[in-house]
Amino acid sequence: MGNKSQILAVMIGYLSLLILWGVYQGRKVKSDSDYKIAGRDLPGWIAALSERATGESSWALLGLPGAAYATGLLEVWTAIGCVAGIVTAWAAIAWRLRDEAEKYRVNSFIEYLSFKHSDLGRSIRTVGSLTIVFFFFFYVGAQFLGGGKTLHTIFGIDPRLGMLLTALIIIPYTVYGGFRSVVYTDAVQAIVMITALVVGPIVGMIVIANAPDIFAGSISGALAKAGGSYNSFTGATGGFAAGVVISGGFSWFFGYLGGQPQLSMRFMAIRDPRQARLGRNVGITWTVIAYIGALMIGWIGLALFGPKGLEDPEYVMPAVMLRIFHPAIAAVLITGAIAAMISTADSLLILSATELHENIIKPLTGGSEGKAGRNDLAVSRFVTALLAVVALGIAYTLPNTLIYRLVGYVWAGIGSNFSVVILLSLFWKRFHGRAALLTIIVGMVFTIIWIATGMDKVITARVMTFAAAGLTAVAGTYLLPRKSSERT
């Protein structure tokens, strides 16, 4: 990429302000509840922007535009699945989770499930927390890897140094301010992201309509000129293969139904029902605009560069921005892509630390479940710092392929699996603790087996895990007797 010095200057300035903003918010943290769930006092619009920045990560700015550039209209099904899931989550799940978190006065995702199903609360705490923490170790490590790759691609620096720099950006304000700092920095990221996804397509459409010597002068022309598969909603397939393609794209829907803990925590932290409605409106509006913009950036890149014009499709967004904007403006928008990656890493880090401290460490050290101790805030900060170091160590020592393979289990094994548990916990009074625990275990084991045996290439685990977890939950509810309501 050209103009590296301008991009670097903008990036340093932006990230420096971001860290200072995170530290400033951290100064308002006075209790363990502030640190873990912002005292359940978030304005709805802040919660919505944070949830969207965390939920999209670099996906909305790098992944989805890259997929649209590489496959054409086929990626519409992925966008439809994601948007449908997010809209459903904000319209039907967010306010209910907020009310439940207030009712039980909980500080974590698994803690809520343990109180909701108190007949087997401690077992749910242990199994659920260990499952999330284990896989999110690798998820955070993958974000560090992604940061290193991005900095290497833009500036040519060693990827290992890039990983370290990414960690040094994230760790200080996350350790200091916890969930509150993470949420408020995420809100800034979401604003930068949506700016790129609105302004980029508008300017890009004008540029391709008037620029000489490009692949095509319009999106429709680019899709037609690129070939049959680009201009087909099924990738030029038919019959059963077309059904698999469509269901594979739409399957992202299932992971958004309350099963992603880092997203559900934003719902749980909203201040009151009125703010929950505001959050719903902001979250849904942001999502619809962002996904349209992300697809259009990919297709504009196709018009500018042609289907073979970029070595790495995931860098179509930076390439488009540098082509259609002044380098200084492009630098701000490109920085948003890196910031989006940060917004996921810090969220996963604070979530993992909260689950580990609240549900594993406190019970083992004699702390009262659901009650704050005198030193809880200090311990929470220590645990967060420790997990950050471990995740960075994982990124440095384990093969990249292994880390990304384990991350591949997350959307199905955590998202689709826990979505079933959350949905039935909210909407089915008969659902009980034994069925919930069995569902968590079976869903995770099924995901690992399904992916490890290669069946994910036939039918995605995102669909099959949701189905397997759902069947397990219903069967467990009817076949297993409900245990005494006393906590075990």
Q: How far apart are CA 434 and CA 485, in angstroms?
A: 11
- The pTM assigned to this predicted structure is 0.92
Beta carbons within 8 Å of 382's beta carbon, 6+ residues apart: none
Q: What is the mean pLDDT of residues 178-195?
A: 93
Name the most confidently modeled range: 153-162, 259-268, 453-462. Answer: 259-268
pLDDT tier for residue 487 given thresholds of 50, 70 and 90? very low
Please state, in angstroms and as integers, the Cα–Cα distance from residue 149 to each residue in 58, 138, 155, 312, following that order. 12, 16, 10, 12
Is the confidence at residue 48, as pLDDT, over 90?
A: yes
Q: What is the mean pLDDT of residues 219-234?
A: 91
Q: What is the mean pLDDT of residues 101-124?
A: 94
Q: What is the mean pLDDT of residues 275-300?
A: 97
Q: Dihedral sign for Cα 134, 417, 110, 408, please.
A: positive
Q: How far apart are CA 154 and CA 4, in angstroms?
A: 7
Sequence-ordered alpha helix ranges (H) in 211-259: 219-226, 239-250
Query: Strand, helix or coil at 270?
Result: strand
Please measure the distance between the N-terminal and C-terminal CA atoms of the chain and give it in whole angstroms.
59
Indicate the average pLDDT of the chain: 89
Q: What is the pLDDT of residue 152?
A: 79
Residue 406 phi, psi dihedral angles, 5° rounding: -70, -35
Q: What is the mean pLDDT of residues 163-170?
A: 88
Q: What is the pLDDT of residue 80?
A: 96
CB atoms within 10 A of CB 346: 32
Please state, in angstroms and as integers, the Cα–Cα distance from residue 70 to each residue in 59, 309, 446, following that order. 14, 11, 31
Is the confidence at residue 414, as pLDDT, over 60?
A: yes
Strand partners, 42: 270
Is the confidence at residue 364, as pLDDT, over 90?
A: no
Is the confidence at residue 153, as pLDDT, over 80?
A: no
Q: What is the pLDDT of residue 2?
A: 53
pLDDT tier for residue 354 given thresholds of 50, 70 and 90? very high
Q: Specify the DSSP class assigned to residue 27.
A: T
Q: Specify the DSSP class assigned to residue 257.
A: S
Q: What is the pLDDT of residue 23?
A: 94
Q: Specify the DSSP class assigned to residue 234.
A: T
Q: How far apart are CA 180 and CA 34, in angstroms?
A: 7
Instruction: Tally the residues of the chain.
Output: 488
Instruction: Report which of 61, 321, 59, 68 is spatially closest to residue 219, judged by C-alpha positions.
Output: 68
pLDDT tier for residue 488 given thresholds of 50, 70 and 90? very low
Is the confidence at residue 335, as pLDDT, over 90?
A: no
Residue found by looking up tokens 């496959």 in the block: 71
Sequence-ordered alpha helix ranges (H) in 362-452: 362-364, 376-397, 400-408, 417-427, 433-452
Please state, in angstroms and as integers, the Cα–Cα distance from residue 380 to each residue in 53, 177, 178, 402, following that order. 24, 10, 8, 29
Q: What is the pLDDT of residue 484?
A: 63
Q: What is the mean pLDDT of residues 131-157?
A: 82
Q: What is the pLDDT of residue 368?
A: 55
Q: What is the pLDDT of residue 486?
A: 41
Beta carbons within 8 Å of 335's beta carbon, 6+ residues apart: 7, 10, 11, 14, 15, 192
Q: What is the mean pLDDT of residues 442-459?
A: 92
- Domain-by-domain residue ranges, the chain? 4-396
Q: What is the mean pLDDT of residues 362-380?
A: 71
Residue 270 phi, psi dihedral angles, 5° rounding: -70, 145
Q: Please say whether the beta carbons of 106 and 370 come within 8 A.
A: yes
Q: How far is CA 273 from the centre of its chain?
A: 24
Token pair for 306? 């042609």
Q: What is the mean pLDDT of residues 386-390?
A: 92
Q: How far apart are CA 348 and CA 388, in angstroms?
A: 10
Strand partners, 377: none
Q: What is the mean pLDDT of residues 462-486?
A: 89
Is the confidence at residue 15, as pLDDT, over 80?
A: yes
Beta carbons within 8 Å of 294's beta carbon, 6+ residues apart: 60, 61, 64, 65, 68, 79, 197
DSSP string over 31-72 = SHHHHHHGGG-B-HHHHHHHHHHHHHTTIIIIIHHHHHHHHG
Least confident stretch, 150-154, 202-206, 243-247, 435-439: 150-154
Q: How far apart are CA 33 and CA 40, in angstroms?
A: 8
% of the chain with per-residue pLDDT over 90: 61
pLDDT tier for residue 236 given thresholds of 50, 70 and 90? low
Considering the domain 4-396, what is its CATH architecture? Up-down Bundle (1.20)
